[in-house]
């Protein structure tokens, strides 16, 4: 697997991902699990952030502190990406959030763009793209095209996802060879309908309790 793909390896990550997979997991539990994994992904993906120093004052004495230097923005893909947004805002509370609306057409499985909150010029240095699932990779690629067309180079984008398929990761990397991807788990197969197997199901439906009864 490419060195630009980082798969988290930790007992807490594995346990939460296993909980998310189960059909018995409630929407509340599912939201909490996605949030927890978002914190873990964001924390690990931020280890190499550039820092700048400043002089501060404690109640006892002066000190030299550090702050994150790059201006960070969050771009969740509606609607499932919203499940990761609050987690990343916990880490970066001042970050602007630029929502992207993209859905996958059910027959062709091609991505369809329907909404963008990207301003005319990017006022940020680093972008975290939030997409809980990378199945075929089409939606993530469409979002990456929108962000790079906006003016953010691939080297300044980090794609964070909870679960990906091997084919989806390969597809994204083929289109964007330099993209840095952080993922909590990888499954090897896709169904004929383009769903990750065994996967999590429809993340948006499970987050917001709109799962259809079979």
> Scanning the structure block, which residue is given the tokens 């499940």?
83
> How much is the average pLDDT of 186-205?
91
What is the reported pLDDT for 172? 96
CA distance 212 to 206: 10
For residue 44, give the nearest of 77, 12, 7 by alpha carbon: 7
CA distance 77 to 207: 14
> How much is the average pLDDT of 85-111?
90
Residue 188, both tokens: 């090897």
Average pLDDT value for the chain: 93
Q: Is the pLDDT of residue 202 over 70?
A: yes
> How much is the average pLDDT of 139-145?
96
> How much is the average pLDDT of 28-38?
96
What is the reported pLDDT for 120? 93
Residue 214: pLDDT band with limits 50, 70, 90: very low
> How much is the average pLDDT of 79-94?
95
% of the chain beyond a pLDDT of 70: 97
For residue 167, give the nearest of 105, 211, 109, 127 by alpha carbon: 109
pTM value > 0.85: yes
Q: Is the pLDDT of residue 73 over 90?
A: yes
Q: Is the pLDDT of residue 115 over 60?
A: yes
> Can you tell me whether residue 111 is helix, strand or coil?
strand
Burial class (CB in 10 A: 0-12, 13-18, 19+), 135: buried
How confident is the model over 160-184, as pLDDT tens digits? 999 999 999 999 999 999 999 999 9
What is the reported pLDDT for 213? 56
CA distance 162 to 84: 9
């Amino acid at each position: 697997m490419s060195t630009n793909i980082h798969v988290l390896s930790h007992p807490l990550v594995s346990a939460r991902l296993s909980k998310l997979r189960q059909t018995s997991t409630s929407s509340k539990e599912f939201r909490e699990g996605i949030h927890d994994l978002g914190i873990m992904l964001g924390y690990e993906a931020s280890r190499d952030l550039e820092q700048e120093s400043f002089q501060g004052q404690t109640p006892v004495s002066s000190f030299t502190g550090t702050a994150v230097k790059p201006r960070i923005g969050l771009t969740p893909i509606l609607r499932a990406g919203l499940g990761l947004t609050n987690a990343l805002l916990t880490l970066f509370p001042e970050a602007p959030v630029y929502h992207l609306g993209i859905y996958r057409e059910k027959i062709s499985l091609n991505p369809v763009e329907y909404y963008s909150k990207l301003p005319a010029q990017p006022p940020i240095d680093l972008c975290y793209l939030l997409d809980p699932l990378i199945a075929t990779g089409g939606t993530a690629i469409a979002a990456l095209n929108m962000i790079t067309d906006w003016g953010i180079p691939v080297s300044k984008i980090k794609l964070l996802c909870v679960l990906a398929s091997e084919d989806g990761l390969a597809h994204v990397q083929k289109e964007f060879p330099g993209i840095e991807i952080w993922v909590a788990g990888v499954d090897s197969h896709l169904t004929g309908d383009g769903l990750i197997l065994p996967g999590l199901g429809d993340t948006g439906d499970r987050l917001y309790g709109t799962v259809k009864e079979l």
